[in-house]
Amino acid sequence: MLKKNISKNLIALTFFICIFIISKEKAFAIEIGDYVTYNEEGWDWLVPDNEDKVLNIGDGQWSRQAAEQFIVLDEDQVAKQELRFTFKGDGLRIIFEGSSNNAEYIVTIDGKTEKFRTYGTYNSVSLGYKKEDLENKVHNVSIKFGEYYGNYGGKSYYGFDAFQIRNGEVLDYDNSFYNKVLDVEPEKSVIKLNEDVNVNLTIDNINDITAEDIRINYDSEKLEYLGSEEIPGMKLVKDLKNDGELRFIIASQGESYIIKEKEILLKLKFKGIDVGEALVNINKGRVTDGIEMEKELTENECGETTIIIEESELLDVNKSGEFTLLDLGIDARHLNKNPNSQELLVYNTDIIQDGNINNLDLLEIGKLILENNNYQPNNY
């Protein structure tokens, strides 16, 4: 009897200890929006800096304000920017600078892409993104910028405090991973279902090239290929199309258009036809200088991209199925009112979803009107 009671007590004690450990771990787990301390064990900090050799910040410039780092871009430059670095470790966090940062970010780790949005609840030095289940090895990270929902004097504002790396270190970024000769660069990395997207076929990191032979694969279950558009100075000599496969042979038109720096060779157009992540990748590339050199590019010199296709969940204001001037007029009439008031429940007035009907909603509706191909004035 005594042994049985001791066994029961040991089981109860073990159960209590397990519950205590689990509860303690949950209590100290850092969630999205939480303040991040500077002394958490196992996590090292990486702060963006224009002089930092481990970060490739593209054409953007980081600015400083106290402990905060941020990048401000003209709207037409957003899709062209990319921040990237290489690290060894098993966890990554992105720390943001404050609640004014209302924007989308597209993070790619080792070719796997995710999108997230910072919105309204963040304090300075707060967690905006985390990936804590990575294998402890070398990882290549790319961060691109999506939609900006704030108002920053006609520019787009993307704020960071820093990055955190767990159980590892930041390395000099891997040029062989990033410096592609041929690449595919979507003008938008995230689109809605049935939305069109342009993808630029580019050449870079090579000189004195006069012709290219390029093969591209794409996910035909999620993307429909709509066609291509020539670039001035570049002649599309031949294009071959099969389901999920494309081939382009392109030639420069004279000495003035010989490749000397980064150039767009061709514009490709796709349409999102199913929800999910769609890979577009260059699987073969061959180039020549038109003198004597003709060479096959390596796999590492050929790029790829992932386009995220989302369900079209956004309702227009009067729930007609599309954005027109009437939607804008309804929000204009009820500007500064509570979108959840009884009189407005028939509408979807809070387009930005910040709890108010304000100028941000008006600006977003204007943008969505211009994207509506069925809106008659867009076809004048």
Complete DSSP assignment for 285-336: EEEE-SSS-EEEPPGGGB-EEEEEEE---PPPTT-SSS--HHHHHHHHHTTT
Report whether pLDDT(30) > 90.
Answer: no
Q: Over range 43-48, report the average pLDDT.
A: 76
Q: Which helix (H) or strand (E) covers residue 26, if one does?
A: helix 2-28
| Tens-digit pLDDT profile for residues 195-220 | 889 999 999 999 999 999 999 999 99
For the chain, what percent of residues have pLDDT higher than 70?
74
β-partners of residue 184 are 201
Q: Is the pTM of this model over 0.75?
A: no
Query: What's the mean pLDDT when you consider all of the chain?
Result: 81
Q: Over range 84-96, report the average pLDDT.
A: 87
- Dihedral pair phi/psi, residue 202, rounded to 5°: -120, 160
- Structural domains present in the chain: 43-176 (2.60.120.260), 179-310 (2.60.40.680), 325-379 (no CATH)
| Tens-digit pLDDT profile for residues 334-343 | 999 999 898 9
Q: Give the pLDDT confidence score for residue 174 in this predicted structure.
A: 62
Residue 117 DSSP one-character state? E
